[in-house]
Each structure stands twice: as C-alpha cells, then as structure tokens.
C-alpha cells in the first residue's frame, strides 16, 4: 500500500529523519512509533503529501501522494479531530462528499448517517463539535475520513487527550474498521496500550539517531530486541 524509499524529511536546513526505508502492507494496522519530538507527525505529513521530502520518495498505491489536494485516495484523522466548529457532525462528514462527488443531497445524507452509525454516533448528527466529548470528536473525524470509502486511513495520535476507557473504545473501533472494511491503517502514536492492542507491525523512529532504530511486531520488539533504546520504549510503565 505504501512504499518509502531513502526518505529524508525536515524543514529547510534541518534534517529530522533521514534515509528511511519501509513498506506498509496492504490491509494491516501499521504503527509509526517514537517519543515526543521524534518526527512521527512530520513523517505523516510527508506520507500524505502535505510536506515535500528533502530527499527520497513516498509511493502510495504505486504513485506519489498528491502535493495539491485532489480527489483523495486516503482519509486522515488529525490529532485534534480538525472538525469545523460552526458545522454539525453531519455537515463535517458531508464535506468530502460535497466536494468530490456528484451525489445529490439525499444520497449524501444517507451516506453521512451510515458513516456516523459505523463509528457509534447515530443520533448525534445535528450536534456541534462543542456539544460532544473528545472521544466523540475523534470518532466523527474518523467518519469524515471514511466518507469516500478510501482503502487507506491515516490516524495521527488518535488517543491523545482521551481517558483510558475512551482510548480502549477507540482502539476497538480501529480494529473493527480494519477487519470489517479491510482498510489499511497507518497509526502515529506513542501510547503503549494502543500499540499493543491494534498494531500488526511498526517502526520506531529516534530523534537522536535521526532514523528508524527498530521494525517488526510490537510484542516481539518489546521482548526480544537487543537494543536498549527499543527495550526502554516498549517497557515503559503503562499509565
């Protein structure tokens, strides 16, 4: 689904991560891991085409991600949910359909209700973002990301700011979507509970090393990596 080849990323003269090579298998939940400031979100921005790489390339489905927003081949949930506060949840989810489809208002309404039902928000269509919880905002953001039925979903720190119960519920939703829809999911996070619950494979990036210091299955890296930096990351105490 995604191939990253000799990728270097950063801003101006500042290189954050360099010489990255990895692939995201089709149909899996793939995690990009690292501590705060390690470059995870910058890497995500390069994967979805919001930032240009300093060197190397990213291929999504065999082609570079769009540098100018066009008909999307993937959906994105940003850290805050990025919902428009003056629009209802239904109106937020309808935005991609209104922009990128020729469907009439009735058809869009049917799809919007179905997507909100899929993420457990049936009955909240007419609520504003300020009227729902943080977890519900994240769910609405996922519903919007799935509006056009993309085969690929990017999630940037989906559990950030949520209490443990809501985090577990969101992890369960991610797994359900992956299994029921077959959507390939790229998850950017540093939350251990989410990593062990949902990730099939992962890479661990390190700010000091400016690159990938581990790749594989999270439990195998936790229990078997010879690198003390990797063991330290995966054996932190769960909050």
For 1-66+199-239, CATH number?
3.40.50.300
pLDDT at 155 over 70: yes
pLDDT digits (tens, 9 = 90+) for 162-216: 888 989 999 999 999 999 999 999 999 888 989 999 999 999 999 999 999 999 9
What 3-state class would DSSP assign to 23?
Answer: strand
Full-model pTM: 0.91
119 Cβ contact list (under 8 Å, min separation 6): 139, 140, 142, 143, 146, 173
What's the distance, Cα to Cα, between the start and end of the chain in Å? Answer: 33
Four-CA torsion 156, 14, 216, 50, nearest 10 degrees: 40
Extents of the domains making up the chain: 1-66+199-239
CB 163 within 8 A of CB 8: no
Name the phi and psi angles at 179, rounded to 5.
Answer: -80, -40
Query: Tell me: the pLDDT tens digits for 69-120?
Result: 556 789 999 887 889 999 999 999 999 999 999 999 999 999 999 999 999 9
Q: What is the DSSP string of 141-190?
A: HHHHHTTT--SEEEEESTTTT--HHHHHHHHHHHHHHHHHH--EEEEEE-
* Residue 58 confidence (pLDDT) above 70: yes
Compute the chain's Rg from CA coordinates: 18
Report angle CA 145, 148, 150 to the nearest 5 degrees: 75
Question: Is 50 exceeded by the pLDDT of residue 219?
Answer: yes
User: In terms of Cα–Cα distance, which of 88, 92, 111 is closest to 101?
Assistant: 111
């Amino acid at each position: 689904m995604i191939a990253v080849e000799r990728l270097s990323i950063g801003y101006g003269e500042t290189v954050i991560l360099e010489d990255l090579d990895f692939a995201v298998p089709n149909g899996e939940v793939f995690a990009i891991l690292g501590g705060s400031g390690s470059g995870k979100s910058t890497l995500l921005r390069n994967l979805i085409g919001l930032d240009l790489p300093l060197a190397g390339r990213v291929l999504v489905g065999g082609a570079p991600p769009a540098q100018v927003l066009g008909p999307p081949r993937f959906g994105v949930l940003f850290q805050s949910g990025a919902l428009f506060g003056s629009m209802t949840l239904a109106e937020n989810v309808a935005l991609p359909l209104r922009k990128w489809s020729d469907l009439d208002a009735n058809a869009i309404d049917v799809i919007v209700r179905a997507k909100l039902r899929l993420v457990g928000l049936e009955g909240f269509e007419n609520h504003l973002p300020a009227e729902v919880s943080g977890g519900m905002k994240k769910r609405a953001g996922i519903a919007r990301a799935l509006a056009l039925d993309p085969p690929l979903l990017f999630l940037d720190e989906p559990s950030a700011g949520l209490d443990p119960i809501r985090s577990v519920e969101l992890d369960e939703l991610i797994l359900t979507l992956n299994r029921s829809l077959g959507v390939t999911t790229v998850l950017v996070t540093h939350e251990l509970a989410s990593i062990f619950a949902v990730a099939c494979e992962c890479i661990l990036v390190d700010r000091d090393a400016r690159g990938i210091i581990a790749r594989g299955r999270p439990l195998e890296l936790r229990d078997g990596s010879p690198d003390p930096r990797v063991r330290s990351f995966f054996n932190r105490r769960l909050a």
